[in-house]
Structure 1
Amino acid sequence: MVLPQDIFIALALAVGIIGTIFQILPGTVIIAGALLTWAILTQGFTAWLVFSLALVVLLAGMFIKYLIAGRHLKRNEIPNLTIVVGLVVGTIGFFIIPVLGLPLGFVGAVYLMQVYRTREHTKAWRATIVALQATGLTIVVELAAGLVATTIWIIGLLVT
């Protein structure tokens, strides 16, 4: 039976999934929080089983996304320092130019770090593309985990 609270949980899950795509909101945390709230409100073994299974999927997704991205970057010889500087500058950029500052700062910093390191525009641009691909991979993995967790909740909702 669908309760009014379930509609709010579904909306929170939708916001979480949007957060995994656009990386502005902490999508995985929102999804986990919504599912925890649902388990607390619903109570019972099934609700807690659904939450536990979904949480395992979300945590696995968090681990796997960094593993895949790290391998992709290492395979293409992109140093960790370049990515860290890109993330820091992207974060600062986010506050200077809301939303657009994050990707612009990340891409610009990765490119400049690689130009400084390799002294070649072509290699630096290739490294920037590789860093963007790795970022895309993390988004896909996090989105997949969020969708699987949401599917687990839908099944649990139908069962309870």
Structure 2
Amino acid sequence: MGVWELLLVGLVILLGLCGVLVPGVPGSWLVWAAVLWWALQDPQPVAWWVLVGATVALLVSQAVRWVLPPRRLRVSGATRRMAVYAGAGAFLGFFLVPVLGAVPGFIGGIYLAERLRLGRPGAARASLRTAMRAGGTSVLAELFTCLLIMGAWLGAVLWG
């Protein structure tokens, strides 16, 4: 697979990651479709294993989303700015503290957005709790799964 094709797959994965944060956009399925496209174009065993792992991870993630409360973030006062901060925090955390850093990065991003918006630490913590109860855990589970898939794809491309 050529460099431009790999960059295009990576771009679709990044769009999928952004789509996870936007209600109504099938972000996780964009990530899966990009991995499928890559696996079909590069029929190496590692590509197929990444595709199988991505499929299983997304199916588990969808099951977890059904168990967690539905997304009601808009009603709770969540803003697009909060979603951007949460996504950026998860993305940075994923690479700063490999894999596990996505969770505190996501939570830290929401806290930072609310701290900047509200100005007081106590109000920001209360808003963080409200956002996580209203559906933030569902978004976090889906985003974390997509970040794992992206990491597996990136590892397979770089070292496979």
TM-score (norm 2): 0.59
Q: State the alpha-carbon separation in 1 of the partners of residues 24 and 14 from structure 2.
A: 14
Q: State the alpha-carbon separation in 1 of the partners of residues 36 and 49 from structure 2.
A: 11
Partner of 2:63: 63
Matched, 1:49 2:57: no
Q: From the CA coordinates, give the structure whose radius of gyration is larger.
A: 1
Q: State the alpha-carbon separation in 2 of the partners of residues 154 and 23 from structure 1.
A: 26
Q: State the alpha-carbon separation in 2 of the partners of residues 17 and 32 from structure 1.
A: 11
Q: Give the secondary-structure state (helix, strand or coil) at the position aligned to 1:152.
A: helix
Residues 135 and 46 of structure 1: CA distance in aligned 2, closer, same or farther (over 3 Å): same
Backbone CA RMSD of aligned residues = 2.8
Deviation for aligned residue 1:19: 0.6
Matched, 1:138 2:138: yes
Divergent runs of 4+, >4 A: 129-132
Partner of 1:6: 6
Q: String of CA shifts for 1:93-133, please: whole Å, max 9, x gaps.
A: xxxxxxxxx935x98xxxxxxxxxxxxxxxxxxxxx97972
Partner of 2:74: 103
Q: State the alpha-carbon separation in 2 of the partners of residues 67 and 44 from structure 1.
A: 35
Q: What residue identity is the alignment partner of 2:37?
A: T
CA contact (8 A) 1:54 1:153 kept: no
CA contact (8 A) 1:58 1:145 kept: yes
Partner of 2:15: 15
Identity of matched residues, % = 24
Deviation for aligned residue 1:53: 0.9
Q: State the alpha-carbon separation in 2 of the partners of residues 24 and 68 from structure 1.
A: 17
Q: State the alpha-carbon separation in 2 of the partners of residues 69 and 149 from structure 1.
A: 23
Partner of 2:159: 159
CA contact (8 A) 1:55 1:149 kept: no
Q: State the alpha-carbon separation in 1 of the partners of residues 44 and 8 from structure 2.
A: 19
Deviation for aligned residue 1:16: 0.4
TM-score (norm 1): 0.59
Runs of 5+ in structure 1 lacking a partner? 71-82, 87-101, 108-128
Deviation for aligned residue 1:157: 0.8
CA contact (8 A) 1:64 1:141 kept: yes
CA contact (8 A) 1:2 1:157 kept: no
CA contact (8 A) 1:54 1:149 kept: yes
Deviation for aligned residue 1:135: 1.7
Structure number with greater CO (CA < 8 Å, separation at least 6) is 1
Determine which structure has the larger helix proportion and give its number: 1
Q: State the alpha-carbon separation in 2 of the partners of residues 131 and 53 from structure 1.
A: 30
Q: State the alpha-carbon separation in 2 of the partners of residues 2 and 57 from structure 1.
A: 27
